């Protein structure tokens, strides 16, 4: 009984860590491919918001990030339709929230 519990916990851990890695990987694909040239086409320009730094400093939480992706903001186009139409996203079969999580996860690293 004890042994099987430990084994189950081990499997859960492996499954969870595998999932987290897959998410960041998918997030990178989204970041590199959305809008054809990727989010970086605009966000790697220093006058536009520096997403990694904003997330790491705590200035851009997951909720705000998701809202901007869904609704757009001034020069920032709505992105969720774009994201959901990408090949790797379709292949992963994730929901819109999971796809946003993946990009956020990637940018948090």
> Toward ligand HEC, which CB reaches closer, 13 or 35?
35
- Beta-carbon contacts of 24 under 8 Å, excluding residues fewer than 6 positions away, are 102, 105, 106, 109
Q: x-or-dash pattern for ligand HEC, window 42-71, by CB under 6 A?
A: xx----xx-x--x-----x----x--xx--
Question: Exposed, middle or buried by CB within 10 Å (0-12, 13-18, 19+), for 81?
Answer: exposed
Q: What is the full DSSP assignment across 6-43?
A: HHHHHHHHHHHHHHHHHHHHHHHHHHHHTTTT-THHHH
> Toward ligand HEC, which CB reaches closer, 17 or 85?
85
> Toward ligand HEC, which CB reaches closer, 22 or 38?
38
> Would you tell me which residues interact with ligand HEC (CB under 6 A)?
34-35, 39, 41-43, 48-49, 51, 54, 60, 65, 68-69, 73-77, 79, 83, 103
């Amino acid at each position: 009984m004890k042994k099987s519990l430990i084994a189950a916990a081990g499997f859960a851990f492996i499954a969870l860590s595998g999932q987290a890695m897959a998410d960041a990987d998918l997030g990178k694909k989204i970041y590199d491919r959305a809008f054809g040239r990727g989010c970086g086409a605009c966000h790697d320009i220093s006058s536009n918001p520096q997403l990694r730094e904003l997330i790491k400093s705590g200035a851009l939480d997951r909720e705000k990030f998701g809202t901007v992706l869904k609704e757009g903001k001034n020069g920032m186009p709505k992105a969720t339709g774009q994201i959901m139409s990408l090949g790797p996203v379709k292949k992963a079969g994730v929901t819109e929230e999971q796809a946003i999580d993946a990009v956020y996860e990637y940018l948090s690293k």
